[in-house]
Amino acid sequence: MNVRTDMAESIFNLKKELCEIGRNIWLRGYCAGNEGNHSVRIGEDRVLCTPTGISKGFLTPEMIVTVDMEGNQIDTHNKYKRTSEILVHLAIYKKRPDVKAVIHSHPPHATAFCIADMPLPEGIHPEAEVFLGRVATAKYATPSKQDLPDSILPLIGPETNTVLMGNHGSVSFSTSLVDTYYKLEILDAYCKLLILAKQVGRVNVLNPAQMSELLEVKANFGIKDDRLACAADGCVGALQNDEFLATFGDVRPSGAMAGSGGGEVSEAEFEAMVQTITDQIMAAAG
Ligand SMILES: [Zn+2]
């Protein structure tokens, strides 16, 4: 087999992979109707991306479109047209040469945080800390306009792999399509847990010592995280946890917020709780 045939085969395999990932995205309910788009970088000036107006659940390889880094469609014979959100993908590829795949989606649990305009809390679930790290939320921007990549790009550092889009959804990116898809899954699973914890009624935030130890484990996996340098001093959650934790009202035993071992109730809080319960019993007894 010559080099040209080899390359054609590997591109065809990538197109099939884009279809398979699309089917998973659709089956898991991350994209309804024709929502969402994903792409993979195949060369310095070439990107394969999903077409506009097609459900991610029913993609076939011939529907996959090839564009250059300016968003021009290369396979002009293709009756399918590139996604209208290609600008977001290309902006990320340009900013981060290490990124090989991008998925934009509307995972419902994560998108609930976007539409609530609530920063995603951190320091709560080990998997999310190791595989996502800090996830920032961009201000709302109109889809398919340059405003959208402009709103996201300033939030992308060398370690970022996921950004939430105000009132809209998520964008995940990594060194392979499969790994990018895992970021999306982990994001929505984490947000689902947070929403369930809200139903259960409280959340325990990992304390600085626990976070520091976890980020050391992450470093040992070879995944960089800036927060390792300051986790022991309580930087994790300091910027973005207050709004979510405030929704729990007074029943919030939080390690980071209380600055103690986490989950412990002070004597004063305990006294107040006893008083409240006593008052309720007395009121019920008439
Ligand atoms: Zn979208």
Residue environment code for 16-36, b if the CB has 16+ CB neighbours within 10 A, otherwise e: ebbbebbeebbebebbeebeb
pLDDT of residue 239: 86
Q: Give the rounded distance of the alpha carbon of 108 from its chain centre.
A: 12
Q: How far is the CA of 173 from the centre of ligand 1 (A)?
A: 15
Q: How far is the CA of 88 from the centre of ligand 1 (A)?
A: 10
Q: How far is the CA of 30 from the centre of ligand 1 (A)?
A: 11
136 DSSP β-pair partners: 163
Q: How far is the CA of 63 from the centre of ligand 1 (A)?
A: 19
Whole-prediction pTM: 0.86
Q: How far apart are CA 171 and CA 149, in angstroms?
A: 10
17: its two tokens: 């992979």
Q: 275 Cβ partners below 8 Å, 6+ apart? A: none
Per-residue pLDDT of the chain (286 residues; tens, 9 = 90+): 577 888 889 999 999 999 999 999 999 999 999 999 999 999 999 999 999 999 999 999 999 999 999 999 999 999 999 999 999 999 999 999 999 999 999 999 999 999 999 999 999 999 999 999 999 999 999 998 999 999 999 999 999 999 999 999 999 999 999 999 999 999 999 999 999 999 999 999 999 999 999 999 999 999 999 999 999 999 999 989 999 999 998 654 455 444 444 445 556 666 666 666 666 666 666 5
Q: How far is the CA of 117 from the centre of ligand 1 (A)?
A: 16
Q: How far is the CA of 125 from the centre of ligand 1 (A)?
A: 26
Residue-range domains of the chain with CATH: 3-200 (3.40.225.10), 208-284 (no CATH)
pLDDT of residue 259: 41
Q: How far is the CA of 191 from the centre of ligand 1 (A)?
A: 18
Q: How far is the CA of 75 from the centre of ligand 1 (A)?
A: 24
pLDDT of residue 258: 41
Q: How far apart are CA 235 and CA 6, in angstroms?
A: 49
Q: Which residue has the tokens 């991350």?
A: 30
Q: How far is the CA of 142 from the centre of ligand 1 (A)?
A: 10
Neighbours of 173 (CB within 10 A): 27
Q: What torsion, rounded to 10 degrees, do the Cα atoms 120, 122, 124, 125 define?
A: 80
Q: How far is the CA of 143 from the centre of ligand 1 (A)?
A: 7
Q: How far is the CA of 271 from the centre of ligand 1 (A)?
A: 49
Q: How far apart are CA 256 and CA 207, in angstroms?
A: 5
